[in-house]
Homo-oligomer: A and B are copies of this chain.
């Protein structure tokens, strides 16, 4: 049975699950959700997910939301990306939680405010504030990656696929990988992983479609 991922290319949270699915070798397909047309705010969609959020993963009778849970599920099914020892497993989860709390949540919101809202509706104070918080997050990640190829252990894990969620997007939100040498090198390691695809190549939907 083919796993379905309800998603759109613009969502870095969806990308975290899509990339894990793609690199895991599981049989999956993306199903486009018209987020910008309001689909996630419909009753039909909220029946699938009271949180009203993309992505949603459907595998037979199993329906999951929250990219972190999907990554754990893919690890459960394939044994991949979860860390090799109990210590590594905890360290992977630590960075996935940190990403949800401090990095992707703020990066996704800031990118949305700066690119997907009409120019006269962009709250400058909020954007400045979240960019300040993001700078602290980039600093912590860049420091951790000093001397490391991957966030945990010797290969790509859910920690990498979570933290990179918004970092490949071209739309400006205040992140310039050239300013963060360890992050830049690590992102190249991810890009060089066999099977890697950019979010706009892995999932349907991109700003170009609405241009």
Contacts and interface: CB of A to CB of B under 8 A. Distances in A.
How many copies are assembled?
2
Interface stretch (A18-26, A62-70, A169-177, A185-193): A62-70
Contacts of A64: 90, 94
A34 interface: no
A97 B101 CA distance: 9
Interface residues of A, number: 31
A105 B94 contact: no
Interface in A69-125: 69, 72-73, 87, 90, 93-94, 97-98, 100-102, 104-105, 123, 125
Contacts of A143: 50
Contacts of A69: 90, 93-94, 97
Question: Which applies to chain A's interface (DSSP): helix, strand, loop or mixed?
Answer: helix
Given A101-B100, A105-B105, A94 B123 contact: no
B68 A97 contact: yes
Interface in A31-50: 50
A50 B144 contact: yes
A178 interface: no
Contacts of A90: 62, 64, 69, 72-73
Given A51-B102, A66-B94, A126-B129, 19 more contacts: A50-B144, A51-B140, A52-B136, A62-B87, A64-B90, A64-B94, A68-B93, A69-B93, A69-B94, A69-B97, A72-B90, A72-B93, A73-B90, A100-B100, A101-B101, A101-B104, A123-B129, A125-B125, A126-B126
14 contacts: A50-B140, A50-B143, A52-B140, A64-B90, A66-B98, A67-B97, A68-B93, A69-B90, A69-B94, A100-B101, A101-B104, A123-B129, A125-B126, A126-B129
